[in-house]
Amino acid sequence: MLKNKVALVTGGAEGIGRAIAVVYGREGARVVVTDCNDQGGKETAAMINQSGGQAIYLHLDVTSPENHEQVVDEACKQFGQLDVACNNAGISGEFRLTGDHTPETWKQVIDINLTGVFYGVRAQINAMLKTGGGSIVNIASILGQVGLEEISPYVAAKHGVVGLTKNVALEYGTKGIRCNSVGPAFIKTKLVNNLPDDVRDHLSSMHALNRIGEPEEVAEMVVWLSSDKASFITGNYYAADGGYLAR
């Protein structure tokens, strides 16, 4: 689906980001894996290369607008262009009632989960415009649609990602750039371990499929949205949620 495309992934060192990068590679894209976890990011790139794909790893601090521009410039230098980007990097933050969250916690989560996505799309858009367009997929969450107690910074950030995605789609649709968001439910990643015990014990039953998701199941949706098979799809939110939002 992505033969001859160049795809960039943030937060590609593990979990959903790694799965997205690997499936991008499987579908023929040349993949730029980015993360602040250098060891994990290099391992992801190595997995793609060992499977017959082509990938490089670049360090990225998503809270740095200059670093976003640097990795996009390097991607274009190495591979000639940028066709696809998935802004996946994020953190859950601490679990506290809204009145107990500190300004420091709020700022950290917003900086990484929302402002970091803005910095990403800003750099990616400018590169894509030079070659006639591309596709951007922003990883939101089911919590980009509904709330969850004790995680207000995360909920606010992910709602913001959904709104930002819509605006990018509206502004750049006539310029060849599509932009969509994907909202995973609870997925088998390290982030699940951050949940309170009482929440983690009932995760499966929160989903209509009575299980949590696999990173690869999210990746398949992201890669389809990134491809030309989704050529008429932009500005939308897609839940990869096992029926969580159906309740």
The neighbouring-strand residues paired with 87 are 138
* Angstrom distance (rounded) from CA 169 to CA 176: 10
**199: pLDDT strictly greater than 90:** no
Q: What is the mean pLDDT of residues 200-229?
A: 95
Q: Which residue has the higher pLDDT, 196 or 105?
A: 105
Residue 246 belongs to some domain of the structure: no
**232: pLDDT strictly greater than 90:** yes
Instruction: Residue 163: count other Cβ atoms within 10 Å of its Cβ.
Output: 14
The dihedral formed by the CA atoms of 103, 104, 107 and 109, expressed in degrees to the nearest 10:
-120
Please report the pLDDT score of residue 53 as a whole number: 98
Percentage of residues in the chain having pLDDT higher than 90: 94
Residue 15 belongs to some domain of the structure: yes
Residue 60 belongs to some domain of the structure: yes
Catalytic status, residue 154 = yes
Residue 196 belongs to some domain of the structure: yes
Q: Which pLDDT band holds residue 201 (cuts at 50, 70, 90)? A: confident
Helices (H), the chain: 15-26, 38-50, 65-79, 103-110, 116-129, 152-172, 197-200, 215-226
Please report the pLDDT score of residue 195 as a whole number: 73
Give the domain range for residue 117: 6-241
What length is written for the chain?
247
Q: Residue 157, by phi and psi: left (phi above 0), alpha (psi -120 to 50) or beta?
A: alpha
Q: Which of 119, 154, 172, 244 is catalytic?
A: 154
Residue 178 belongs to some domain of the structure: yes
Q: What is the pLDDT of residues 11-22, one digit of tens each?
A: 999 999 999 999
> Can you give the CATH number for the domain in which 85 is found?
3.40.50.720
* Angstrom distance (rounded) from CA 149 to CA 20: 29
Residue 247 belongs to some domain of the structure: no
Please report the pLDDT score of residue 193 as a whole number: 75
Residue 177 belongs to some domain of the structure: yes
**Per the structure, how many domains does the chain have?**
1
Residue 201 belongs to some domain of the structure: yes
The neighbouring-strand residues paired with 59 are 35
